[in-house]
Structure 1
Amino acid sequence: MGDDCCLGSIVEVLRLGLTSEARENATATLFSLSAVHAYKKRIVNQGGTIEALSGLLRVGTPRGKKDVVIALFNQSTHLENCARMIEARVVTTLVGALGNEGVAEEAAGALALIVRQPIVAEAVGKEEMAVVGLIIMMRCRSARGKENAVAALLELGRNGGYAATERVLKAPSLAGLLQTLLFTGTKRAKRKAASLARVFQRCENASLHFGGLGVGYAFAGNSAALNRDSRFADDVSVPMSISVQVL
């Protein structure tokens, strides 16, 4: 990273590598480097990096796609990178990955963490397929996928503003899925489901009642109402479970 040409060369391999293995190795190098906070902004500022990573998430191998998700997540944890990544449609790419069997769980885990940034949560909330994709994961995926999905919905409702909160609130089948998680989910999934129910219950101007859960649900025009109760802070810890394989 001390050599100005080195990062550019890695990105060139990512963009133009002649084999998928070469491009994947470049991706793995970038996600390793992006774990260092001081490097995150430099990587994003390197022309073409974010676009190339997004492209690989759409067409790469399962291993390469998982590395891309980690790399993109690492970049998003630097607040100054968020606007650039939204502009490059990284959010759209991650939401699209929810429908990809090989990387859906990792994409949901990444979304659960990055939507803690309000600017990212707002962008995710504008994606029509975001809530739909997470709901499908809660219905069909593994225990880890369900945990990540409900955690992402919880954070999206808390941080995404009025529009995102409304999308989560009105999601079809959410009541029944939360009820199922409360009774049959893992301990972590139960915490997330219970937190999501309680957060909405505490919102002002109740407008919808989910009788199956026995709690009132609503959204407030001021999304700050979603964050009033600090007792739920422990419920939003979402350790991302991603299998990392570097060759």
Structure 2
Amino acid sequence: MGEDGCLGSIVEVLRLGLTSEARENAAATLFSLSAVHDYKKRIADQGGAIEALAGLLRVGTPRGKKDAVTALFNLSTHLENGARMIEAGTVTALVGALGNEGAAEEAAGALALIVRQSIGAEAVGKEEMAATGLIMMMRCGTARGKENAVAALLELCRFGGSDATERVLKAPALAGLLQTLLFTGTKRARRKAASLARVFQRCDNAPLHFGGQGVGYAFAGNSTASNRDSRLADDVSVPMSISVQVL
């Protein structure tokens, strides 16, 4: 990174490399470098770097997509990179990657970080398939993928305003998926699912989208759940009644 023109040359290979292997290796190099905090901003500020990573995520080989999305995830952990990543079209590429098994986990994780800024929440909220893709991950993803997906939806509702919350709330089967995560998810997934349920409890239209039952997630009203996992209530301290219809 101290060599004059080195970073620019790596990005040039990523953009214009003559073989897929060359572009993959350039993405892997940026992925490794982006793990170092002091390099995250420098990489994001390098002309064409983020655009090239987003492009590889859209049309690269499975290996190229994996390295590109991991690099983008690393870059998204630096708060100052948010606006630059949005400007470079990263959000659209990340949303598209939610349907890619090899890239979905990191894509959802990056989105969860990007939406913590209002500009990021606005950009993600404009993507028609964002909520749908994240909810599909809650249904079919890996344990870590489900964690990242529910975290991204939570942050989208927190920072995206009422329109984003309403879009998420209208998603079919969301109530059932949240209930499943509350019982079977990892500790982090249960915590995020409970927080998302609390967000919905404050929405005036929640009963309309949850079969008239309300969101009502709590453990006190279900003795079977308490017997099955007494530690769950300690981890997720939110009132709940297990009477939610699955739409």
| Distance (whole Å) between structure 2 residues aligned to residue 35 and residue 79 of structure 1 | 14
The number of residues matched between the two structures is 216
Q: What is the aligned partner in structure 2 of residue 152 from structure 1? A: 152
Residues 78-126 of structure 1: CA deviation (Å, up to 9, x unaligned): 3332222212110010001011122112211222233223321221111
Identity of aligned residues (%): 82
Residue 157 of structure 1 deviates from its aligned partner by: 0.9
Which structure has the larger Rg over C-alpha atoms? 2
Residues 127-157 of structure 1: CA deviation (Å, up to 9, x unaligned): 1100010111112223222222111111111
Is the alpha carbon distance of 1:190 and 1:81 closer, same or farther for their aligned partners in structure 2, counting shifts above 3 Å?
closer
| Distance (whole Å) between structure 2 residues aligned to residue 74 and residue 60 of structure 1 | 19
Deviates more, 1:153-162 or 1:183-192: 183-192
Decide whether the 8 Å contact of 1:175 with 1:212 is kept in 2: no
| Distance (whole Å) between structure 1 residues aligned to residue 133 and residue 4 of structure 2 | 40
Decide whether the 8 Å contact of 1:98 with 1:107 is kept in 2: yes
| Distance (whole Å) between structure 2 residues aligned to residue 162 and residue 206 of structure 1 | 11
Q: What is the aligned partner in structure 1 of residue 191 from structure 2? A: 191
**Any unmatched runs of 5+ in structure 2?**
218-234, 237-247
| Distance (whole Å) between structure 2 residues aligned to residue 48 and residue 17 of structure 1 | 14
Q: What is the aligned partner in structure 2 of residue 85 from structure 1? A: 85
Residues 67-86 of structure 1: matches in 2 within 5 Å? 67-86=67-86
Is the alpha carbon distance of 1:144 and 1:212 closer, same or farther for their aligned partners in structure 2, counting shifts above 3 Å?
farther
Residue 213 of structure 1 deviates from its aligned partner by: 4.5
| Distance (whole Å) between structure 2 residues aligned to residue 141 and residue 40 of structure 1 | 28
Q: What is the aligned partner in structure 2 of residue 245 from structure 1? A: none
Q: What is the aligned partner in structure 1 of residue 58 from structure 2? A: 58
Is the alpha carbon distance of 1:186 and 1:76 closer, same or farther for their aligned partners in structure 2, counting shifts above 3 Å?
closer
Larger RCO, structure (CA 8 Å, separation 6 or more):
1
Q: What is the aligned partner in structure 2 of residue 106 from structure 1? A: 106
**Any unmatched runs of 5+ in structure 1?**
216-233, 236-247
Is the alpha carbon distance of 1:78 and 1:105 closer, same or farther for their aligned partners in structure 2, counting shifts above 3 Å?
closer
Letter in 2 for 1:133: G
Decide whether the 8 Å contact of 1:179 with 1:213 is kept in 2: no
2:204 corresponds to 1:206? yes
TM-align CA RMSD: 2.3
Q: SS at 1:47's partner residue?
A: coil
- TM-score of the superposition, structure 2-length normalised? 0.79
Q: SS at 2:100's partner residue?
A: coil
Letter in 2 for 1:42: R
| Distance (whole Å) between structure 1 residues aligned to residue 28 and residue 170 of structure 2 | 39
Deviates more, 1:14-23 or 1:37-46: 37-46
Q: What is the aligned partner in structure 2 of residue 12 from structure 1? A: 12
- TM-score of the superposition, structure 1-length normalised? 0.79
Q: SS at 1:127's partner residue?
A: coil
| Distance (whole Å) between structure 1 residues aligned to residue 131 and residue 216 of structure 2 | 23
Q: What is the aligned partner in structure 2 of residue 173 from structure 1? A: 173
Residue 170 of structure 1 deviates from its aligned partner by: 2.0
Decide whether the 8 Å contact of 2:135 with 2:174 is kept in 1: yes
| Distance (whole Å) between structure 1 residues aligned to residue 141 and residue 39 of structure 2 | 34
| Distance (whole Å) between structure 1 residues aligned to residue 188 and residue 75 of structure 2 | 26
